[in-house]
Structure 1
Amino acid sequence: MSLNVVTLVGRVGGDPDVKYFESGSVKCRLTLAVNRQTRNSDQPDWFNLELWGKQADVAANYVRKGSLIGVKGSLKLDTWTDKNSGAARSSPVILVDRLQLLGSKRDNEGGGGESAGYEEDF
C-alpha cells in the first residue's frame, strides 16, 4: 500500500502564473505560505502548487496574492538538469486535485475584512 496525500491551508504568495496551451489545457502555478508554529513565533513554510484544467481556471480568475485557500493534492518532484553545471536538480511541487477558496468574497476582491464563512469547493 502507498499513500501520497497533502492537505494545506494558507495564503497565496503572489498572483497566479497561468499558461494556456494550444491543446486547450490550462496550467497554473502558485506559491502558498503555511504558518508553522514555533515556540517564539509563527514561521511560514512555502510550497509550490501546480493546478491543471478547471482548478487552474478558477485560480486564474479568483485567486490573488494574499488569498486564503485550502488545497488537497499529491507531492511530486520536478527534476531537471542544470544548464550551467550539468548537475541534477529537483524541486517538490504539490499537484492540486482540489481547491477551496476560503474567506469572504470581499477578501478575494481585495476588500479585506474577516471571513464571513464563504467557502467554494472546485
Structure 2
Amino acid sequence: MSLNVVTLVGRVGRDPDVKYFESGSVVCKFSLAVDRRSRKSDQPDWFTVELWSRNAEVAANYVRKGSLIGITGSLKLDTWQDRASGAPRSTPVIRGERLDLLGSRRDSEAPMDDSYGDDQF
C-alpha cells in the first residue's frame, strides 16, 4: 500500500497565475506560506500549489495574496533540464485536489467560506 496525501493551511504568497488551454483545461499556480509549529523563527515554509479544472477557476476568482486557505492534495516533483548547464532539476509541487477558502468576508470582497473538491484527478 502507498499513500501520498498533503494537507496544508496557510496564507497565499502571491495572486494566482492562471492559464487557459485550447483544450478547455485551466491550471492555476501560486505560493503558499505555512507556519511550522515547532519552528522558533518567524520564517514560514513556502510551497508551490497547482490546481486544475474547477478548483483553478475558484482560486482565480476568490483567492488573492494574503488569503487564508486550506489545501488537500498530493506531492509531485516537476522535473526539467537546466538550459545553461543541461543538469537535471526538480522542485516539489502540491497538486491540490481540495481547496478550502478559510478567510472571512472581511478578508476579501467575495465570500470565502465554501469548500470545493475536484473528483477529476
- Compute the TM-score of the two structures, normalised by the length of structure 2: 0.90
Q: Could you say which residue in structure 1 is the equivalent of 2:5?
A: 5
Aligned residues: 115
Structure 1 residue 41: deviation in Å?
3.4
- Compute the TM-score of the two structures, normalised by the length of structure 1: 0.89
Q: Could you say which residue in structure 1 is the equivalent of 2:113?
A: 119
Q: Which amino acid aligns with 1:20?
A: Y
Note the residue ranges of structure 2 that are not aligned, 5 or more in a row: 117-121
Q: How does 1:87-98 map to 2 (within 5 A)?
A: 87-98=87-98
State the percentage of identical aligned residues: 70
* Structure-2 separation of matches of 1:9 and 1:25: 26
Q: How does 1:96-107 map to 2 (within 5 A)?
A: 96-107=96-107
Which runs of structure 1 show a deviation greater than 2 angstroms over 4 or more consecutive aligned residues?
Answer: 37-43
1:61 counterpart SS class: helix
Structure 1 residue 18: deviation in Å?
0.2
Q: Which has the higher strand share?
A: 1
2:59 counterpart SS class: helix
Structure 1 residue 17: deviation in Å?
0.2
Structure 1 residue 76: deviation in Å?
0.2
* Structure-1 separation of matches of 2:20 and 2:39: 44
